[in-house]
């Protein structure tokens, strides 16, 4: 079996992830920060270790400014709905996932509706998914509060110039929110060097963790007193008050956290750090280069994106002439034991940008665990399907 659906969620997980989760369930199991007994203290340590691991991966200075949640979708909703007010302007790109685009479109509703009245400018990218920082700069206005971008497209893998945009945002006094769903653990990210003010991450892709883990890193330039939590409730802190604590991360982390998941995430992130993000990146670039080169040499196959492995993640979108993406995916699964994803990948605007809307593409999403042999086997399978369709 060849698993090429890592852009949706990674599999397998690094060694030790499942064991850490089982250990938590069997040997710890307590609610962190809710009691003073040994098990609760241990649970709190695991939670804090996970914050430190995330800071290590993204070079974030303060573990207490890591807000954990279910996934990056929740993190982006927190950043967008928590910071934007009627009259604010936001700049985003035409390569965004719906987890950025849908909350933004909801914020555009009339101001009398709950969290509406925000103006959104979508900056167009090239058909390869490339964003020109000068276009972002031209779109920024005096009332622009936020520039919100993904770090890499989940459709074609194209990397967006977040460091260049970060510098522009500082000059123009806007905040930069980055969706690192596709790059966290797969591409080096330094939130301080790139001047990223808010970084949303999801634990279940290249960070090696389980589903149900993710979060938002809230940078020092973000005034947390202006960040409206998505939910309020028990935090285990300031329990004498009926009002929500006003400090991070508690103000944005109501209810019992997913410590079993975070125990796994912590091990996944530490595995990434031990192996080295640069080494993982080099391995994935080599696989991506082979995959793009091989696909391009097959008659009847169209590959999308920059066609340069250095400019993208290990996510490659393509189509086979004369065959719907859904048929390609089904036959790769049924006849060749290859798991991939087909269709629009929750990013309709990105498909409009690259010219593949509404049918979408076949997407191979590779990870640190894939091999060149697997790439070659998949290329041979696509070659046979393309031959039949010719
Ligand atoms: C770029 C991007 N943003 C957001 C998401 C949403 O991730 P999650 O479902 O983990 O919230 C994904 C997942 O595919 C993604 O690729």
CA distance 175 to 153: 21
Query: Residues with beta carbon inside 6 Å of ligand 1?
Result: 8, 71-73, 97, 99, 150, 154, 179, 181-182, 202, 214
Alpha carbon 236 to its chain centroid, in Å, reads: 29
Give residue 86 CA to ligand 1 midpoint distance, Å: 26
CA-proximal residue: ligand 1, atom 15 (nearest): 181
Atom of ligand 1 at shortest range from CA of 8: 14
Residue 80 has, within 13 A of its CA and on its CB side, a CA count of: 32
Q: Are strands 175-179 and 198-202 parallel, antiparallel or unpaired?
A: parallel
* Burial (CB count within 10 angstroms: exposed 0-12, middle 13-18, buried 19+), residue 360: buried
103-141 in b/e burial notation, b at 16+ Cβ within 10 A? bbebbeeeeeeebebbbbbbbebeebbbbebeebbebbe
Write down the pLDDT at residue 98: 98
Give the pLDDT score at 34.
84
Summarize the chain as % helix, strand, coil (round to 5). Answer: 40, 15, 45
Radius of gyration from C-alpha coordinates of the chain: 21
Low-confidence ranges of the chain (pLDDT < 70): 113-114
Dihedral (CA of 332, 99, 199, 270) sign: negative
The full length of the chain comes to 390
**Which residue has a Cα nearest atom 10 of ligand 1?**
71
Calpha distance 342→365 (Å, rounded): 11
Strands 2-3 vs 338-339: parallel, antiparallel or unpaired: parallel
> Which of 6, 9, 99, 180 is the best mutation target for the ligand 1 pocket, counting ligand atoms within 8 Å of the beta carbon and taking the most?
99
Give me 179's structure tokens.
Answer: 């969706």
Q: Which of the listed residues 73, 189, 365 should we mutate to test ligand 1's pocket, taking the one with most ligand atoms within 8 A of CB?
A: 73
Q: How far apart are CA 311 and CA 130, in angstroms?
A: 9
Q: How far is the CA of 181 from the centre of ligand 1 (A)?
A: 5
């Amino acid at each position: 079996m060849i698993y090429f659906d890592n852009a949706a969620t990674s599999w397998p997980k690094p060694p030790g992830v499942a064991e850490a989760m089982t250990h938590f369930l069997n040997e710890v199991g307590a609610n962190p920060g809710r009691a003073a007994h040994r098990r609760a203290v241990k649970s709190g340590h695991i939670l804090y270790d996970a914050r430190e691991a995330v800071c290590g991966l993204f070079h974030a200075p303060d573990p207490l400014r890591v807000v954990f949640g279910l996934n990056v979708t929740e993190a982006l909703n927190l950043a967008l709905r928590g910071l934007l007010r009627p009259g604010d302007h936001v700049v985003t790109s035409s390569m965004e996932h719906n987890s950025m685009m849908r909350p933004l479109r909801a914020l555009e509703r009339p101001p009398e509706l709950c969290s509406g009245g925000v103006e959104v400018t979508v900056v167009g990218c090239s058909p390869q998914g490339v964003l020109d920082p000068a276009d972002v700069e031209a779109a920024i206005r005096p009332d622009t509060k936020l520039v919100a971008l993904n770090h890499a497209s989940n459709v074609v893998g194209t990397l967006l110039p977040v460091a260049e945009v970060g510098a522009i945002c500082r000059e123009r006094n806007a905040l930069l929110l980055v969706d690192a769903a596709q790059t966290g653990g797969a591409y080096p990210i330094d939130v301080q060097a790139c001047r990223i003010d808010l970084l949303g991450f999801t634990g279940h892709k290249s960070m090696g963790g389980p589903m149900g883990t993710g979060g938002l890193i809230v940078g020092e330039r973000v005034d947390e007193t202006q960040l409206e939590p998505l939910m309020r409730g028990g935090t285990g802190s300031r329990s004498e008050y009926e009002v929500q604590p006003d400090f991070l991360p508690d103000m944005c982390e109501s209810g019992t956290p997913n410590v079993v998941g975070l125990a796994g995430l912590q091990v996944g992130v530490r595995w990434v750090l031990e192996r080295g993000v640069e080494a993982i990146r080099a391995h994935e670039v080599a696989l991506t280069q082979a995959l793009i080169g091989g696909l391009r040499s097959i008659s009847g196959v169209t590959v999308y994106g920059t066609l340069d492995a250095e400019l993208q993640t290990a996510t490659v979108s393509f189509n086979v002439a004369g065959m719907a993406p859904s048929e390609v995916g089904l036959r790769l699964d049924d006849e060749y034991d290859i798991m991939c994803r087909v269709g629009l990948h929750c990013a309709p605007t990105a498909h409009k940008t690259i010219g593949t809307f509404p049918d979408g593409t076949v997407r191979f999403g590779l990870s640190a665990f894939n091999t060149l042999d697997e790439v070659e086997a998949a290329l041979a399978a696509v070659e046979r399907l393309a031959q039949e369709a010719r």
